[in-house]
Structure 1
């Protein structure tokens, strides 16, 4: 946690991954994030993975460091409270993150009537407003047909919600950009961020779309091969699986040195009339001839023999390991100052990350747990909306808030 955004008040009305991720990043940089949910929880309040007691580890992970207010959003008075929160006064307020539909009670036109300089970042599925989620957008892009074994035609869904996460990060950047513009001009604005557009733009930025357009077909699946370069998984003599990557000339040269393959590769270069030293594309083109040489070299060595030699030689490599082993990896989790053991509302204590970025000039602040659902209802109503204690009590009695 850092305090670069200290003083900002961001209101979140959202569920699932992208919009909550946006607000999470803002909270980890010091913004006060107030999340409103339906009484009893929204559609993501019980999402898996679950703890043994039924608490959602997913919800705790995406909402740490935020404040929570519970409102009956099915009732007009509850919806009015949500609107007033999103548009509450203050120079550093009027910042709203949502994935509610473009139209409806949280539309920009409705909220802008309450605050003209409101900044609203709205996560969408498709740009036309139709419903779409990470996995359906990904399927439409053709990526599941590019992923998986070369000899199996079935589509392969990856387990990481990449478009959700990328959209969440892009929305955080967009909100801060719009806030800087508001400081200069006083103008508010709505930023619509469809997953489909983030995904399509990314495919174009990485050259996927131009490649397909020019060749007339999308890239074929090729298992674990790294497209356009030399990289793949290899098995050691003791049955361990390692990832080897050689993109730069230095990486390639170091790998050949440690594996003792310079002579064999030189002979192959002479046969083919090519030089692999400076052209990663050639290594990819002729990978079917190169891989057997590397497979044999790996099969002659154990992990214990290869690891120190790779590290000393500057080879780019990694061990395939399950997450339970990664938890003991000091470069990732164990001992990493990014993580702290934090008691969460579930009653469980486990490692929780703060802001992923490290700022050497600033002190890393303690990680804040996720809130209990509705934990800050009275505080937010009193401090942000300036309601009296009697009015807050009336709302509780009427079941409008909890």
Structure 2
């Protein structure tokens, strides 16, 4: 946790990954993020992975450092509370993150009537308002047909919700940008961030779309080969799988030196009339001739021999390892100051990350756990909306709001 955004109040009405990720990043930079959910939890409150007691580890991870208020969003009084929260007064408030539909009680038009300079960041599936999620957007972009073994035509979905995560980060950036503009002009705005547009733009930014337009077809599958460069997995004598990547001339020459392949590769260069050191694309083009040389060299050496030699030579490589092993890796988890063991609302204690960037010279604050659902209901109603104790009690009695005990 850092305090760069200390004093900002962001209200979040969301579910799933993208919008909660936006709120998480803002909270980790010091903003007060108030998430409202239905009493009993929204559609992501019990989402897998689950702890043995049924608590969602997913929900605990994406809502660290936020405040929680539970509202009956089907009731008119509950919807009014959500609107009032989103448009609450204050120079550092009026910031709303959501993935609710563009129409309805949380539409920008409805909220703007309550606060003219409101900034609303709205995550969407498709830009036309139709429903879409990470995996369906990904399938539409063609990536599952580029992923996987070259000899298997079946689409391959990756397990990382990449478009959700990119969208969440882009939304946090967009919100802060809009806030800076509001400080200069006094104007609010709605920011619509469809996963489809994030995905389409990213594919274009990386050259995928231009490549396909010019070639007349999308990139073929190529297994674990790194497109346009020399990189692939290789197996050592002791059965370990290592990833080797050689992009720069230095990486390439050092890899050849460690593997004892300089003479063999020089002979291949002479035969083909090329210089692999000068052009990484040539290494990719002629990978079918290079791979057997590398496979043989790896098969003659153990991972214990290659690892230190690669490191000493500045070779870019990595061992394939399961997450269980990664958890013991000091470069990733064990001993990493990014992580802190905390107690979560599930009652479990396990390491959780704070802000992913290290902001020097700022000191890291302690990692804040996710709240229990409804833990801050009374506090938020009193401090943000200025409700009296009797008004709050009436809302509890009517079942419009609930605390951490569900009542």
Which TM class, normalised by the smaller chain length? over 0.9
Deviation at 1:336, TM superposition (A): 0.3
Please list the CA deviations of residues 314-340 of structure 1 after superposition, one character each: whole Å capped at 9, or x if unmatched.
Answer: 110000000000000000000000000
**Inter-partner Cα distance in structure 1 for 2:308 and 2:220:** 36
Q: Does 1:348 align with 2:348?
A: yes
Structure-1 residue corresponding to 2:51: 51
Structure-1 residue corresponding to 2:306: 306
Aligned residues: 402
1:33-48 correspondence runs (5 A): 33-48=33-48
**Inter-partner Cα distance in structure 2 for 1:359 and 1:303:** 35
Structure-1 residue corresponding to 2:405: none
**Inter-partner Cα distance in structure 2 for 1:176 and 1:36:** 21
Structure-2 residue corresponding to 1:130: 130
**Inter-partner Cα distance in structure 2 for 1:119 and 1:136:** 28
Structure-1 residue corresponding to 2:232: 232
Deviation at 1:356, TM superposition (A): 0.3
Structure-2 residue corresponding to 1:121: 121
Structure-1 residue corresponding to 2:398: 398
Please list the CA deviations of residues 65-110 of structure 1 after superposition, one character each: whole Å capped at 9, or x if unmatched.
Answer: 0000000000000000000000000000000000000000000000
Deviation at 1:218, TM superposition (A): 0.1
Please list the CA deviations of residues 237-268 of structure 1 after superposition, one character each: whole Å capped at 9, or x if unmatched.
Answer: 00000000001111101100000000000000
Structure-2 residue corresponding to 1:80: 80
SS state at 1:35 partner: strand
Deviation at 1:195, TM superposition (A): 0.1
**Inter-partner Cα distance in structure 2 for 1:86 and 1:167:** 21
Deviation at 1:359, TM superposition (A): 1.1
**Inter-partner Cα distance in structure 1 for 2:388 and 2:344:** 30
**Inter-partner Cα distance in structure 2 for 1:176 and 1:337:** 26
1:136-285 correspondence runs (5 A): 136-285=136-285
**Inter-partner Cα distance in structure 2 for 1:171 and 1:73:** 24
Please list the CA deviations of residues 290-311 of structure 1 after superposition, one character each: whole Å capped at 9, or x if unmatched.
Answer: 0000000000000111111111
**Inter-partner Cα distance in structure 2 for 1:246 and 1:106:** 50
SS state at 1:104 partner: coil
**Inter-partner Cα distance in structure 1 for 2:342 and 2:300:** 45
Q: Does 1:379 align with 2:382?
A: no
Deviation at 1:204, TM superposition (A): 0.2
Q: Does 1:21 align with 2:13?
A: no
Runs (5+) with no aligned partner, structure 1? none
**Inter-partner Cα distance in structure 2 for 1:169 and 1:398:** 38
SS state at 1:121 partner: strand
Structure-1 residue corresponding to 2:295: 295
SS state at 1:328 partner: coil
**Inter-partner Cα distance in structure 1 for 2:315 and 2:108:** 53
**Inter-partner Cα distance in structure 1 for 2:25 and 2:135:** 23
Deviation at 1:368, TM superposition (A): 0.4
**Inter-partner Cα distance in structure 2 for 1:93 and 1:198:** 26
Structure-2 residue corresponding to 1:63: 63
Q: TM-score, normalised by structure 1?
A: 1.00
SS state at 1:43 partner: coil
Deviation at 1:360, TM superposition (A): 1.9
Structure-2 residue corresponding to 1:94: 94
Runs (5+) with no aligned partner, structure 2? 403-407
SS state at 1:210 partner: helix
Q: Does 1:332 align with 2:316?
A: no
Deviation at 1:278, TM superposition (A): 1.3
**Inter-partner Cα distance in structure 2 for 1:390 and 1:51:** 38
Runs of 4 or more consecutive aligned structure 1 residues displaced over 4 Å after TM superposition: none
Structure-2 residue corresponding to 1:388: 388
Q: TM-score, normalised by structure 2?
A: 0.99
Structure-2 residue corresponding to 1:104: 104
